[in-house]
C-alpha cells in the first residue's frame, strides 16, 4: 500500500515573469499534510504563501515540481481535471469574504452548488453544518445585514458546501476584531475535529496559528521549519 501522505508537495517552484524580470515565488517547496490535519502556514509578506495555495487549489499551474493530492498528480492533470478538482476537492476562504452583495446568505452558499452542478438544495446533513456555523437563523439576510464574523461564516459554509477534502483559508481572520476572530477560529477547529476537514490556513497572527495542529514556516519560497 502507498505510504504517500494525503497532500505531498515536492521541489515545487513557481516563477512569474514580470516584464524582463523573473520573480521566484516558490524555490523548491516540500510539504507533507496528513488527511484531517489543521496546518497554519506562516511567513513574512512575499514568502510565497498565497502562491502555494493558488497552486494547491488548481488556480495557477506550478513551474516545476510535483503535487499529489489523494495520490493524484496535479501536474499531470488536464485543464478539465484541474477545473474539476478546483470545484470538488478544494474550498477557498479569503480575508475579504467575497460574498455577492445582492444575494442572501443562503443563495451565496447555494450558488456554488449551481455552478458545481451538484443540485441546488442544501441537504439535511448540510443544515446541521449550518447550525454548527451559527448562521442557520441568518440565511435570508443579505451580506450587508451581517457582521464581519457572520459574513466569514457564510463564506466558510460556501467553501465547504460541496464537501471538499481540503479547505484553504487565506488570512480568514485578517478583517475581523478579536471576538469574531476567535469565533471563526473555533469554528475551523470544530470543522476539523467533528467533520475531519483537512485545513490549511495562512495567518500572520500567532494566536490564530495556535488553533492549528502544526505550523509551517515559509521563507523566500521554501519551507524553513515545521513545528
Ligand atoms: N501574479 C503574480 N505575478 C507576478 N508576481 C507575483 C504574482 N503573484 C505573486 N507574485 C510575487 O511572488 C512573490 C510571492 O508572493 P505571494 O503572494 O505568494 O506571497 P505571500 O507570502 O502570500 O505574501 P503576503 O503575505 O503579502 O500575501 C512576491 O514577490 C510577489 O510579488
**Does residue 3 sit within a domain?**
no
Question: Which pLDDT does position 116 carry in this prediction?
Answer: 57
pLDDT digits (tens, 9 = 90+) for 185-195: 999 999 999 88
pLDDT digits (tens, 9 = 90+) for 111-169: 877 665 555 566 666 777 788 788 888 999 999 999 999 999 999 999 988 888 899 99
Residue with CA at minimum distance from ligand 1 atom 7: 16
**Does residue 159 sit within a domain?**
yes
Take residue 183 and report the three cell numbers written for it. 469565533
Mutation pick for ligand 1 pocket among 14, 18, 49, 51 (CB with most ligand atoms within 8 Å): 51
Q: Give which of 163, 155, 73 is closest to 118, Cα–Cα.
A: 163
Residue with CA at minimum distance from ligand 1 atom 4: 16
Ligand 1 and 43: CB distance under 6 A: yes
Number of domains in the chain: 1
**Does residue 164 sit within a domain?**
yes
DSSP states of 91-117 as a string? Answer: EEE-TT----TTS-HHHHHHHHHHHHT
Question: Which pLDDT does position 49 carry in this prediction?
Answer: 96
Ligand 1 and 150: CB distance under 6 A: no
**Does residue 146 sit within a domain?**
yes
> Where is mean pLDDT largest: 35-39, 94-98, 180-184?
35-39
Question: Which pLDDT does position 114 carry in this prediction?
Answer: 67
Instruction: Assess contact for 156 and 93: CB atoms under 8 A.
Output: yes
What kind and span of H or E run contains 160?
helix 148-160
Residue with CA at minimum distance from ligand 1 atom 30: 46
Find the range with the poorest average confidence among 81-85, 156-160, 166-170, 216-220: 81-85
Question: Which pLDDT does position 124 carry in this prediction?
Answer: 67
Residue with CA at minimum distance from ligand 1 atom 13: 25
Question: Which pLDDT does position 43 carry in this prediction?
Answer: 93
How many angstroms is it from 155 CA to the middle of ligand 1? 23
**Does residue 31 sit within a domain?**
no
pLDDT digits (tens, 9 = 90+) for 102-126: 999 999 988 877 665 555 566 666 7
Boundaries of domain holding 95: 38-61+86-226
* Alpha-carbon dihedral 128, 154, 192, 171, rounded to 10 degrees: -170
Question: Which pLDDT does position 115 carry in this prediction?
Answer: 66
ipTM topping 0.90: yes
pTM of the entire structure? 0.90
Q: What is the CATH number of the domain that holds 145?
A: 3.40.50.300
**Does residue 42 sit within a domain?**
yes
pLDDT digits (tens, 9 = 90+) for 35-81: 999 999 999 999 999 999 999 988 888 999 999 998 888 877 888 88
Residue with CA at minimum distance from ligand 1 atom 16: 48
Amino acid at each position: 500500500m502507498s505510504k504517500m501522505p494525503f497532500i505531498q508537495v515536492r521541489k515545487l517552484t513557481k516563477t512569474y515573469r514580470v516584464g524582463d524580470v523573473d520573480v521566484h515565488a516558490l524555490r523548491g517547496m516540500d510539504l507533507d499534510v496528513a488527511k484531517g490535519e489543521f496546518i497554519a502556514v506562516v511567513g513574512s509578506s512575499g514568502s510565497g504563501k498565497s502562491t502555494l495555495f493558488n497552486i494547491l487549489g488548481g488556480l495557477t499551474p506550478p513551474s516545476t515540481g510535483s503535487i499529489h493530492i489523494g495520490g493524484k498528480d496535479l501536474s499531470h492533470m488536464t485543464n478539465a481535471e484541474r477545473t474539476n478538482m478546483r470545484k470538488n476537492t478544494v474550498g477557498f476562504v479569503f480575508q475579504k469574504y467575497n460574498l455577492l452583495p445582492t444575494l442572501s446568505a443562503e443563495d451565496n452558499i447555494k450558488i456554488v452548488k449551481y455552478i458545481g452542478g451538484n443540485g441546488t438544495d442544501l441537504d439535511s446533513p448540510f443544515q446541521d453544518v449550518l447550525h454548527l456555523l451559527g448562521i442557520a437563523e441568518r440565511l435570508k439576510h443579505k451580506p450587508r445585514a451581517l457582521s464581519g464574523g457572520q459574513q466569514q461564516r457564510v463564506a466558510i459554509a460556501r467553501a465547504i458546501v460541496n464537501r471538499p477534502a481540503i479547505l484553504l483559508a487565506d488570512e480568514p481572520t485578517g478583517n475581523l476584531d478579536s471576538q469574531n476572530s476567535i469565533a471563526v477560529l473555533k469554528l475551523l477547529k470544530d470543522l476539523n475535529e467533528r467533520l475531519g476537514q483537512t485545513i490549511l490556513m495562512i495567518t500572520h497572527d500567532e494566536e490564530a496559528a495556535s488553533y492549528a495542529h502544526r505550523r509551517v514556516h515559509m521563507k523566500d519560497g521554501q519551507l524553513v521549519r515545521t513545528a
